[in-house]
Structure 1
Amino acid sequence: MTLFFSNFDTKGSIFRAERALLCSPFSLDLFITMKKESVSFSKIVNTRKTKERQTLKFLSEQKIEQKLIWLIKVGILRREVDGQGITDSFRLTPLGKKIVEKWQTKSTNIPKLSLLDQMSDKFLYYLNSFI
């Protein structure tokens, strides 16, 4: 098992994953919850207007889904699977857990990237969505 994970534990993949999390619109609390248990898409969407918001800003359901799929592509999240197939719930991957644990010990919020880094990430995000 360690051998399998170590193949994906490269500096490049960790950098991309951290960067995607830094630019994500989701709260650190959401990722901490995903570390322990799966979180359904409906729970993320339904908390947009409450004090327990899972997003840092108001987003449409479509935008939330796009951002979650992006985090799956970079290796942070995975979809939960039950006996009948893929569910609407998400959970952190081992790489995602590693990054969230590092940030969890340092702060209650996800650190912020510079404006240039955010623009670069948005460019890569949109470029990747056309591929």
Structure 2
Amino acid sequence: MTTLDSPNPKPFVYTQKTLERAERSLICSPFHLSLFTAMQTQSISLGAIATETGFQTGYTKRPLSELVCDNALGWLIEVGILRREVDGQGITDGFRLTPLGYQLVEKFLNTTWPSPSLGDRVNDAITRWFRLPF
């Protein structure tokens, strides 16, 4: 198991399989690193990520409908990279990084954002389709 640094004083320990799945899901997502770096300091709303707005801001690789964007963000929640923002009234339309998300973003800040291979895309699609236990 690997221990990584995060803003949380207690280190989280993740299995190598968890780290690989999360990294693969992150690089196969339709989002740029700039979205995740922005999420390090603030909650980002679905409206700021979806449609032409997210593309012009540099958050997405192409304009995404709200449904496609919400599904992609939902997958990143399932693999443990993101969480929904909560306020006093309940769940909002904002998203933030989890400790695992912080760790992966920190890893990519000083390197180039990798392009997913065909194998990465196929593996991610199969995992998403079948929602295999991890």
TM-score (norm: length of structure 2)? 0.84
Identity %: 46
CA RMSD, Structure 1 to Structure 2 (Å): 1.7
- 1:4-15 matched pairs, under 5 angstroms: 5-6=12-13, 9-15=14-20
Asked if the contact 2:50/2:69 (under 8 Å) is kept, the reply is yes
Runs of 4+ in 1 over 6 A off after TM superposition: none
1:41-61 C-alpha deviation (Å, 9 max, x unpaired): 1111251452x2311122221
- Is 2:119 the partner of 1:116? yes
Unpaired runs of 5+ residues, structure 2, are 1-8
Alignment length (residue pairs): 123
**Is the Cα contact below 8 Å between 2:50 and 2:63 reproduced in 1?**
no
- Where in structure 1 are there 5+ consecutive unaligned residues? none
Who is 2:10 aligned against? Answer: 2
1:24 paired residue number: 29
Identify which of 123, 128, 131 aligns with 2:131: 128
Q: Distance in 2 between matches of 1:74 and 1:67?
A: 11
Which has the larger displacement, 110-119 or 12-21?
Answer: 110-119
After superposition, give the CA deviation of every residue in 1:23-74 in whole Å (9 maximum; x if it has no partner). Answer: 0000100000001111011111251452x23111222211100000000000
| Aligned mate of 2:98, from 88, 93, 98 | 93
Question: Which has the larger helix fraction?
Answer: 1
